[in-house]
Amino acid sequence: MKQDVEEQFLRAYDDLSEPLYRHLYFRVYRRERAQELLQDVFMKTWNYLAAGNQVDNLKAFLYRVANNLAIDESRKKKEHSLDQLLADQPKLEPVSDDGKHPEKQLLIEQIFKVVDEFEEPDRSILVLRYHDDLDPKEIAVVLKISANNVSVRLHRAHERLKIIFNKDDNAREISTID
């Protein structure tokens, strides 16, 4: 039984560590920190299993731990400015000749702008749905809410995204006219 759990756990690491890393990187925007958090995710999950607890859906459990750690991290780092966060990312691509990465910066700014419009748990729902491709049922397990609640929140988020992007389009049109 012990061996089974260990094997399942390491298999989960092999299969899920990359998507979980990407999830964490998206949430914290720093490679090293994302890797540290990923390690925390798996170690905390292992500690839980080693204590004799049973996890029915390991994938959902890992995403739940990752999501919680990411939320904690964003609370801790709330005071950090975007510039600071960008300065912490030496490996971003593509890198322009002058050593900066304007495309990436623009992309992050755009995403930041949109994501910041949402509070938890809607923010997590959007990320899990569109970044991690989890379906509402999986998201429901991760966030411990009902699938119906996830669907309703997603629907509302879509409505809000429409407004946000329409506003952006209008602003762009106005700036073009100017």
Partner 1 sequence: MHEKFQQLIKRFSGQSVWDAESKQAVRTKLIQHMDAHPIKQRSFWTRLLSNRALAVGLAAIVLIVAGGGTVYACTDAQPGDALFGVRIHVAEPMVLAFTFDDEDKADIELAQTESRLVEWEQLQISGNTEAAEQHQKLFDEKLARLKDRIAKLESQGKNDKALEIAVRAEASISTHEHIVAIDNDEDGDGHAEVNLTSETNGSNSHVSIHSSAEASVKAGDTEVFKDQAQRRIDQASTMIAEVRAYITANANKLNAELKTKAESELDDAQKKLDDAKKALQDSKFSDSIILSANASADAQRVKILVNVAVRTDNAFFDDHQDNHDIDPDKLEEEIRSRVQDKLDKIFDDQDFPGIDDD
Residue 110 lies near partner 1 (rule: CB under 8 A) = yes
Cβ pair 59, 30 in contact under 8 A: no
- Residue closer to partner 1 (CB basis): 129 or 178: 129
DSSP assignment, residue 101?
-
Long-range contacts of 162-165 (CB under 8 A, 24+ apart): 164/113, 164/114, 164/117
Residue 47 lies near partner 1 (rule: CB under 8 A) = yes
Cβ 10 to partner 1, closest distance in Å? 7
Cβ 87 to partner 1, closest distance in Å? 17
DSSP assignment, residue 129?
I
Task: Pick from 107, 135, 137, 173 the residue near partner 1 by CB under 8 A.
Answer: 107
Cβ pair 20, 63 in contact under 8 A: yes
Residue 65 lies near partner 1 (rule: CB under 8 A) = no
Cβ pair 136, 150 in contact under 8 A: yes
Task: Pick from 158, 170, 172, 173 the residue near partner 1 by CB under 8 A.
Answer: 158
- The interface mask with partner 1, positions 24-43, x = CB under 8 A, is -xx----x--xx--xx--xx
